[in-house]
Amino acid sequence: MPRRRFLAGAAGLALCAAAGRPVSAQDLKFFRIATGTTGGTYFPIGGLIANAISNPPGSRPCEKGGSCGVPGLIAVAQATIGSVENIDLLRVNGADAALAQADVAYWAYTGTGTYAGKPAFEALRSIGTLYTEAVHIVVRADSDIHAIPDLKGKIVSVGEEGSGTLVDVRVILAAYGLKESDLQPRYLKPGTGADRLMRGEVDAFCIVGGHPVAAVSDVAGKVPIRLLPIEGPPADALRKAERFFIDTTIPADAYPWVPPTRVLSVGAEFLIRADRDDDLVHAITRALWNDTTRRLLADGHPRGRALDPAKAVASISVPLHPGAERYYREAGLIGNAANEAGAGTPASPEPERKDPERKEPERK
């Protein structure tokens, strides 16, 4: 198990806030959120969420410009490999909550897909969908790789074992008639993959993340890059077979000098165990969608502007936690067709799903 890294901001706030009075162990509830690599989107977004839902003893009230989080809660963002490891941590109580891709969460909950042959994680629950994250396959601008079939025989960073990136790359390669063994795969962290692409040591690197992804932005600032499109009949067939894949366009302003690129994306969900206290999860959900929290997220990361409570339950992959469901009902956000049909089961066949944020490129 890799060494953990924590975002200590909330814990530091607790020490500062408590300076004026003694704090008992009963006053504090520590809450670990499994996120992702520091070069992706989960870690910074998870850190913002951790700070937003925290409310250390002694903090100023929300209405007076203080914390709008859960009283006594100290949340920390835990850096991990990604979605697969995060769900495994939740399963063994190694984390209190996690960010994960919707497809990976569904497969874990049902014991299918990448979890085929493993016990279904029936205690997995959702707090809601946060945003969509795109599949990035990055090459240098001067590369002779222009489409996914061109990856055959190339050195490709496909993501670490335990990452959602690796899971989705395998699925996408299969859709285009390729096997992992058709490549020269390297199982690298996003930042390492980006560095090696810049140095010419790999031909491509892959990451699933909400744009702009830090690792992609970093390499784009040093060498010209392109993104490979994920489109055409293989992508269409994959969307029909796996309902969590969404047709998305990464816009031109996401990375320097990279044109709009049509790819696939999946939802990023905030997950928790079914046995967590209903009142605690209700309070966390309410703090997550507080107006102050939404401003913090929007100011703290470009992808934070995509978070919208009105979209949080429309395409969840596993059942809502009862505490979260209570919040959405109180807020009048429950009642769409997908939720009424039951989480994890499509309300009706969905031959084509498009990212609501996608903007079609101008045709000239």
Question: For the whole model, what pTM was predicted?
Answer: 0.84
CB 204 within 8 A of CB 156: yes
At residue 11, the pLDDT reads 46
The mean-pLDDT minimum among 24-38, 225-239, 266-280, 307-321 falls in 24-38
- pLDDT confidence tier of residue 67, bands split at 50, 70 and 90: confident
pLDDT digits (tens, 9 = 90+) for 256-270: 999 999 999 999 999
Average pLDDT over residues 128-150: 97
Is residue 348 scored above 50 in pLDDT? no
3-class state of residue 266 by DSSP: strand
The mean-pLDDT minimum among 34-38, 170-174, 351-355 falls in 351-355
For 18, the token pair is 């408590």
3-class state of residue 33 by DSSP: strand
pLDDT top residue among 112 and 26: 112
CB 334 within 8 A of CB 321: no
At residue 27, the pLDDT reads 66
- pLDDT confidence tier of residue 296, bands split at 50, 70 and 90: confident
